[in-house]
Every structure is written in C-alpha cells, then in structure tokens.
C-alpha cells in the first residue's frame, strides 16, 4: 500500500469512497477539489498495488496556532482490515507535525468501535462528547492527540 498526497485526478475516486462510506451525510465533490487547492499536503490517499484508491484522509489547520483537525478519513469497504486507516492516520500525523501542528483533533461516532479503538491506540484521548455534534441523532466523541507523544 502506498500513502501519498492526492493528485487532481484522484478527486472523483475520493468522492466515490466518501459517498460509499458515509452515505448521504457527505462532503460535496467540489469540497474535495477546493481542499486539494487549500491543503494539498493534507489530502492523502492510500493506493493499492493495482493502482486503485483504497482510502483517503483529509486534514486542515485550525485558526488556533498549533492545532489541526482530521476532517475526514475513509477506507473502501473492500479494503478494510489491512491497516489502511492506521497508515493514513499516521501519514496525516506526520504531515501535520511537519507543518507545526502540535495537537491533532478529530471527531468520531461513538458507535464506530473500530475507529475509536484505532485512534486510542495511536494516542488520541477524549476531550469532549457532544450528543448532537452534527445535528439531532449525530453524537460524536472529540478526541485529541499530542503529536510529540503519539504513536503516529
């Protein structure tokens, strides 16, 4: 598996994974195009040996100095269980740290036990829990990782 910054021609595949993983609550396709322009080193993809996109991660700097966010991370259903989510998270952690980010934050559905376990293994800790983070019926855990101390 290769982890690399996305290229413009990857955007359609990134959006397809976004839709497949998250259903109707997705970033629109044009958002990924703009993210590619805004944060090119923070839009990462995992590429399988046959050249197909297996997953992606998107990070963004916060307004507050030293803080960054994982905006989205998704792995194609057919590619799960191979360490791709871990690899993408670790690659994003390295990119964020290289840009001066000290604390990386993310949100995760508390029912997504696989993702919660992965993030905890990588050094993320709970800093908040919101019952309606993305609206009614959309609870999220807010996790944070000190990149200098992380397993990233």
- Interval 36-80: pLDDT, tens: 999 999 999 999 989 999 999 999 999 999 999 999 999 998 888
If pLDDT is split at 50, 70 and 90, which confidence band does 151 have? low
Tokens standing for 109? 């559905």
Q: Is the pLDDT reported for residue 4 higher than 90?
A: yes
- pTM (2 d.p.): 0.91
CB 95 within 8 A of CB 62: no
pLDDT exceeds 80 at position 144: yes
Write out the H or E segment, with its range, that includes residue 60: strand 53-61
pLDDT digits (tens, 9 = 90+) for 93-133: 999 999 999 999 999 999 999 999 999 999 999 999 999 88
């Amino acid at each position: 598996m290769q982890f690399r910054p996305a290229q413009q021609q990857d955007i359609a595949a990134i959006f397809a994974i976004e839709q497949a993983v998250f259903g109707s609550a997705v970033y629109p396709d044009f958002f990924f195009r703009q993210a590619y322009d805004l944060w090119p080193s923070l839009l990462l993809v995992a590429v399988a040996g046959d050249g197909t996109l297996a997953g992606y991660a998107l990070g963004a700097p916060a307004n507050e100095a030293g803080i960054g966010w994982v905006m989205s991370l998704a792995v194609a259903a057919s590619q799960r269980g191979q360490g791709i989510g871990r690899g993408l998270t670790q690659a994003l952690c390295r990119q964020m740290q290289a840009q001066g980010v000290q604390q990386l934050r993310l949100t995760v559905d508390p029912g997504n036990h696989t993702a919660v376990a992965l993030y905890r293994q990588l050094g993320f800790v709970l800093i908040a829990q919101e019952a309606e983070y993305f609206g009614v019926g959309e609870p999220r855990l807010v996790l944070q990782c000190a990149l200098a101390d992380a397993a990233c």
